[in-house]
Amino acid sequence: AATFTYPTGAKEAIEMSKKILLDCATSVEPTVTVETTAITAENAKQLMGK
């Protein structure tokens, strides 16, 4: 059994906003993929608090 973390994507959204608003980018990537992490019994203690 496992569970997964799902990042909010806030960091990527801010970076994209800065490109548009500050750098005057005329186009940005239409899709942004954020990494998820599987949390299992084997790595749960290592990931706790991150």
In 3D space, the residue among 4, 8, 12 whose CA is nearest the CA of residue 36 turns out to be 4
Residues of the chain with pLDDT under 50: none
pLDDT at 1: 85
Domain count along the chain: 1
Q: Rounded distance, CA 46 to CA 50, Å?
A: 9
pLDDT at 50: 74
* Residues spanned by the domain of 16: 3-47
Q: Rounded distance, CA 16 to CA 39, Å?
A: 29
pLDDT at 4: 95
pTM: 0.64
In 3D space, the residue among 12, 49, 3 whose CA is nearest the CA of residue 34 turns out to be 12
pLDDT at 45: 93
